[in-house]
Structure 1
């Protein structure tokens, strides 16, 4: 895919949604961090249902640490892998207090040193909470990048690097959100909605549905 096509893709996505953001509900970087940790192998809707009860009770590292693993588990038990997530979150809260004065760090190295925080989670926090042009490649972004020809790659890291290299700078900050939303609601895994897709004419997908 050439640079002109990429530019037009993001121009249209931006035109339709000028201020894209995550569908996770949060008010602070700490709330976002916890929500993203919980979202692994879970839906944003499911996470939001849990955090709307959790955050009014505990939305700081101190308050969440005070809940303990057992207490936290009661709020997130509807989410997959909640036991391991509860353990990671409590340990993360302890480290935030001990090493970062209770604040969420704004560097990849410090974020990835926290339990339950991998590269993708760190990228979401860096992008959404701190305004850094990081690219969190999930299954939606991986699929859209390869299917459209926007930034193909054999693995998520390769796609991430290709997106950072090829996405026009003016659109780099919002690209992560536009691509997730496009993959979630239009360029779906089993049945892409090509007929109602704003960028269908720019997409290099060879197997577009005819109906």
Structure 2
């Protein structure tokens, strides 16, 4: 795909959704960090159902740490892998209290040092909480990038590198959200809804559905 076509795709996505954001519910960087950590191999809907009950009770590192692992599990037990996630969140809260004054650090290295936080989670927090031009590649973005031929790569790291290279600066802060939403609702895994897609004529996927 050439850069002119890429820019047209991004322009259409921006025109359709000028101020995109995550579908996870949060009101501060710490809530976002917890929500993204819980969202691994789980839907945003399931995470929101849990955090909508958790955050009114505890939404700071100290408050969640005070719940303890077993206390936190009671709020997130409807989410997949909740046992290990509860342990990671409690450990992360302890580190935030001990090393960062109870604040979420605006640093990739510091974020990735937290239990349960990998590159993708760090990218989401840096992008959505702090406005960094990072691109977190999940299964939706990986699929859309390869299927449309917008930014092809054999794994998520290669797709991220390609996206960072080919996406113009003016679109970088928001492209993560546009591609996730496109993959979640239109360019779905089994049968993409090509006839409902605003970039169908620009997409280079050969087996389009009618």
Query: TM-score per shorter chain, which class?
Result: over 0.9
What residue in structure 2 maps to residue 112 of structure 1? Answer: 112
Contact 1:6 1:168 (8 Å CA) reproduced: no
Q: Take 2:68 and 2:57, find their aligned partners in 1: how far apart are those partners?
A: 13
**Is 1:141 aligned to residue 141 of structure 2?**
yes
What does 1:28-107 align with in structure 2 at a 5 Å threshold? 28-107=28-107
SS of the residue 1:19 aligns to: coil
**Per-residue Cα deviation, 1:10-30 (whole angstroms, up to 9, x for no partner):** 100000000000000000000
Contact 1:186 1:192 (8 Å CA) reproduced: yes
Per the normalisation by structure 2, the TM-score is 0.99
Contact 1:50 1:76 (8 Å CA) reproduced: yes
What residue in structure 2 maps to residue 16 of structure 1? Answer: 16
SS of the residue 1:200 aligns to: coil
Per the normalisation by structure 1, the TM-score is 0.99
What residue in structure 2 maps to residue 204 of structure 1? Answer: 204
Aligned length in residues: 210
What does 1:179-190 align with in structure 2 at a 5 Å threshold? 179-190=179-190
SS of the residue 1:202 aligns to: coil
What residue in structure 1 maps to residue 173 of structure 2? Answer: 173
Residue 175 of structure 1 and its aligned partner are, at CA, apart by 0.2
What residue in structure 2 maps to residue 125 of structure 1? Answer: 125
Q: Take 1:59 and 1:195, find their aligned partners in 2: how far apart are those partners?
A: 42
Residue 60 of structure 1 and its aligned partner are, at CA, apart by 0.2
**Per-residue Cα deviation, 1:106-158 (whole angstroms, up to 9, x for no partner):** 11110000000001000000000010011100000000000001000000000
Q: Take 2:173 and 2:45, find their aligned partners in 1: how far apart are those partners?
A: 24
Q: Take 2:112 and 2:145, find their aligned partners in 1: how far apart are those partners?
A: 25
**Per-residue Cα deviation, 1:85-104 (whole angstroms, up to 9, x for no partner):** 00000000000000000000
Q: Take 1:196 and 1:176, find their aligned partners in 2: how far apart are those partners?
A: 20
Residue 191 of structure 1 and its aligned partner are, at CA, apart by 0.8
SS of the residue 1:78 aligns to: coil
